[in-house]
Amino acid sequence: MHYRDYYGLDMGTGHNIGPGFYLGHAWNITINPQVKIECNCNVHKEVVIGQTNRGSHKGAPIIGNEVWIGINAAIVGGITIGDDVLIAPNTFVNCDIPSHSVVFGNPCIIKHRDNATEGYINHKANIQ
């Protein structure tokens, strides 16, 4: 409750979050308890990762390995974010994102890029 009240960090309990999870400037971040986050994901301030309760993308996101989520991004719905994905600041994501992509805008624009998160991921955990 201290983190929620002081930082605006709303994560609840029981998350399925892998090693190497990093909160950069943990202010006003909301992560739904149903979200699944793999290894080495970086989340920055004012990010929302939430579920939708109806429609074709009903549910909560699954986020892959080596994902960097920029300031003020929103990721919603039963979608899958692949590995090595950079989600730019102020991006709204409500569709599946393939691995090795850079995503930006609203509606989101997806561009393929090998090593999309190279140099961006902080506090990496060794995963084999």
SS (H, E, C) 21-83: CEEECCCCCEECCCCEECCCEEEECCCEEECECCCCCCECCEECCCEEECCCCEEECCCEECC
Residue 128 counted as domain residue: no
Structural domain of 23: 2-112
Which of the pair, 4 or 80, is modelled with greater confidence?
A: 80
Query: What whole-number distance in Å separates Cα of residue 84 and Cα of residue 28?
Result: 24
Residue 63 counted as domain residue: yes
User: pLDDT band at 13, cuts 50/70/90?
Assistant: low
Contacts of 53 (CB under 8 A, 6+ apart): none
Q: Give the tens place of pLDDT for each residue, 94-109.
A: 999 999 999 999 999 9
Residue 118 counted as domain residue: no
Structural domains counted in the chain: 1
Q: What is the CATH number of the domain that holds 80?
A: 2.160.10.10
Residue 88 counted as domain residue: yes
User: pLDDT band at 25, cuts 50/70/90?
Assistant: confident
